[in-house]
Amino acid sequence: MRRRLTLNRGQRSLLVVCLVAIVIHLIPLLLPRNEPEQQLAIARAMSTVSQRVPFLRPLKDDSKATPAELREAATLLLDGAPDDAHTLALEAERRNPQEVETQLLLARICDVERMSRCVSTALSRAESLAPADARPDVLRAELLEKDGDVTGAAAAMERAHGKAPEDPLIGLRYVRLLSEARRGEEALAVLRKLEGRVPHARLLVEQGRVHSREGHDAEAVKLFRAAVAEDPKLGVGYFELGLAWHRLGRPDRAEEALRQADRLDRTDPKALAALCAIQLKERRIDDARLTRMDLERRFSGQPELIRQSCSIP
C-alpha cells in the first residue's frame, strides 16, 4: 500500500511537470499574433530569412509598430530579403523622419542592393540630422573600405575621429586605415593620443602593426614581444608576432608564436590557418597535412577558410 502511494505521488509530480511544460509552450501561441513585439519574437526564433518574412512583412501596415520595431524587422530581413527590409525601413522613416538610426539602416540596405546613390542620400541625411554624430562617417568609411577605397575610408574616419576623439574604437579603426593608406607617421601620432584609453599592451600591438605595414618587421617584433611580455594572454600579440617572425625568415619562432595564439583562443581558426599557409609556402607538406587535420577536426563548419588557407597539393 505504501509502495503504491509513493508511485501515485511520483506519477502526479510527473504529470504536473508535463502540464507546466505544455502551458509554457502554449503561451506564445495564445498571445495575440498581431502585436508587433510578438511578431518580432517569433521571427527572432526563426533560423532563416524566408521563415521570417511572413511574420515581419505585415508590420509595414501595422499602426502599432514603432520605428524601432520596424528597423529591427528590417535588420532581421536584410541578409536574404533586402527588398522587404527596404520597405520596412522606409515605413520607419515615414513614421519618424528625424531618426538617424533609420538613415544608417537605409544606407546599409541600399549597399546590399547596390544602389550607390541611395547609400549617399541616406548618409547625407544622417549627417544633416546629427552633424556631431560620428556614426554616419564610420559607416561611410566601412562601405568605402569594402569597395577598396582605402584613401576615402581614411578621410571619412578622420571626420569621425574629429567628432569623437575620446572613442578608442574609432581611434583604433582610424589608425588602421591610416596605416593601410601608407600614412604610418600619422597613425603612430594618433596611437600616442590613445594612451590611457587603450590597454598599453594593445597599443604596442597596434604600433607593431603600423611598423609591419611599413616593412619594418624587426621593429615590429620588438613591439609584439613587449606586448605579450606585458600581457601573456594577449592572443593577437602572439598572432602578429608569428607573422612577423615568418616575414623575417624565422619559421621555428613563427610556429611557436602561432601555436601559442591558438592555445589562447581555441575558438579562432586564424592562427592555425596562418600556420598551415606558412608550412605550405615552406614546402613542409607533411606538417601542413597535420595542421589541416586539426583545422578540419575543430572547425569543420568553415570549409572555405580551410580550403583557402590550407589547400594541400
Whether 153 is covered by a domain: the verdict is: yes
Cell numbers describing residue 313:
597539393
Q: What is the mean pLDDT of residues 271-284?
A: 95
pLDDT at position 294 over 60: yes
Whether 119 is covered by a domain: the verdict is: yes
pLDDT at position 99 over 50: yes
pLDDT band at 249 (very low <50, low <70, confident <90, very high): very high
Regarding whether 273 and 245 lie in a shared domain, the answer is no
Whether 77 is covered by a domain: the verdict is: yes
Look at the chain and report how many structural domains it folds into.
Answer: 4
Regarding whether 148 and 214 lie in a shared domain, the answer is no
* Interval 158-168: pLDDT, tens: 999 999 999 99
Last residue of a domain, one of 109, 130, 151: 130
Regarding whether 123 and 58 lie in a shared domain, the answer is yes
Regarding whether 207 and 171 lie in a shared domain, the answer is no
Amino acid in the structure at residue 191:
L
Quote the pLDDT of residue 191: 96
Quote the pLDDT of residue 166: 93
- How many CB atoms neighbour CB 165 within 10 A? 15
Whether 2 is covered by a domain: the verdict is: no
Quote the pLDDT of residue 246: 97
Whether 12 is covered by a domain: the verdict is: no
- Alpha carbons within 13 A on the beta-carbon side of 109: 26
Regarding whether 95 and 64 lie in a shared domain, the answer is yes
- Residue ranges making up the domain that contains 278: 266-313
Rg (C-alpha) for the chain, rounded Å, is 26
Regarding whether 124 and 57 lie in a shared domain, the answer is yes
What pTM was estimated for this model as a whole? Answer: 0.80
Regarding whether 92 and 58 lie in a shared domain, the answer is yes
* Interval 190-228: pLDDT, tens: 999 999 999 999 999 999 999 999 999 999 999 999 999
